[in-house]
Copies of this chain bind each other. A is one copy, B any other.
Amino acid sequence: MTATTKPHEMLAEMLSAKLEAVDALIRERMASENAPRIPEVTAHLVGAGGKRIRPMLTLASARLMGYEGPHDEKLAATVEFIHTATLLHDDVVDESKQRRGRPTANLLWDNKSSVLVGDYLFARSFQLMVETDSLRVLSILSNAAATIAEGEVLQLSAMSDLATSEDTYVKIVRGKTAALFSAATEVGGVIAGATEAEVQALWTYGDALGIAFQMADDVIDWMEGTGKGYGDDFRECKLTLPMIRAIAGSPEEWGFWARTIGKGQQQEGDLEHVAALLAQTGALDSTRQTALDWAGKARAALRDLPEDPIREVLHDLADYVVARLK
């Protein structure tokens, strides 16, 4: 480990034995004797090497609270299955062509497989949860699954809707990202038998981390030289927090917003005009600050949890997800 090791890499090192067991479990459980096509589809995604943030959050939370049983691995695999299932379904919803630098499953295998294999992974994730014998874990994760689906539907209906509020934005962000982060940390505490206050702190950490992470992404959409498409959210008429605040801060531009986002009629020069409005209204800076505040909330939640090297890395992780904004 060097001084420049990133927090998620540090976590991966600290949890390496557990993560290997989780990977083995994932490979074992995604296999289907009856439908061999299933692992072909999922291997494509699981093998694409995401950062495994969500399963690490579960493993880290359980270890931080002193858990020594076998269920943390099952729950970490559960969380990764739910995440993978939502990615497969998102590909259909977004009609996206690339994910993690590779062609998405729906282009390789078509929409049908994406839908059905996603369903299969959801079902498999519930089978894994049942094996933990904890109704509370099942309740937390089925609530998270409902919040995820609601958030995605909400994002669809908020598309192009200039009346989208900051409150709606936060609900969408919880659905897209934070609900699974907070469920991942919460169940880690629950199986470890943590106190209610500790479970609550773990939930708050995961929730705030997820919101900070997604909000940072929405700011980065407007930062040049990040390797991501500049202004993609505007092109897709997605109302992220920077845009919600820019719209609120520029009532004289109502006609412009109604045309470009309400009707989706965009022309040359519009993107530059939005960038100017984001700066003039201070919308981008204030969103950056809000993301930093959420990261601070995540760090603060850790105070109520035991001192431990794992806690230090979780602390650094909260800084790391917003580090790109500074």
Contact = CB atoms under 8 A, between A and B. Distances in A.
Interface of A: 32, 34-38, 86, 89, 92-93, 111-113, 115-120, 122-124, 126-127, 129-130, 133, 135, 138-139, 142-143, 145-146, 148-154, 156-157, 171
A142 B116 contact: no
Nearest to A171: B34
A39 to B, nearest CB: 11
B92 A153 contact: no
A139 B171 CA distance: 31
Which 3 pairs across A and B sit closest by C-beta, in order of nearness? Answer: A120-B149, A123-B145, A123-B146
A115 B143 CA distance: 18
Contacts of A116: 89, 93, 149, 152-153, 156
Residue with the greatest number of chain B CB neighbours at <10 A, chosen from A92, A117, A126, A171: A126
24 contacts: A34-B151, A34-B154, A35-B150, A35-B154, A37-B153, A37-B156, A38-B150, A89-B115, A92-B92, A93-B112, A113-B153, A119-B145, A120-B150, A122-B122, A122-B149, A123-B142, A123-B146, A126-B145, A127-B139, A127-B142, A127-B143, A130-B138, A130-B139, A135-B135
Contact of A149 (B89, B117, B133): B117
A153 B32 contact: yes
Given A89-B119, A123-B148, A112 B156 contact: yes
Given A93-B116, A118-B119, A129-B142, 14 more contacts: A32-B150, A35-B153, A35-B157, A37-B156, A38-B150, A38-B153, A89-B115, A119-B145, A120-B149, A122-B149, A123-B145, A123-B146, A130-B135, A135-B135
Nearest to A93: B112
A144 to B, nearest CB: 8
B92 A149 contact: no
A10 B49 CA distance: 55
A26 to B, nearest CB: 15
A31 to B, nearest CB: 11
A126 B141 CA distance: 9
A93 B120 contact: no
Contacts of A118: 119
A149 B146 CA distance: 19
Contacts of A37: 153, 156-157
B92 A115 contact: yes
Nearest to A174: B34
A35 B151 CA distance: 7
Contacts of A146: 120, 123-124, 127
A42 to B, nearest CB: 11
Contact of A34 (B34, B89, B93, B150): B150
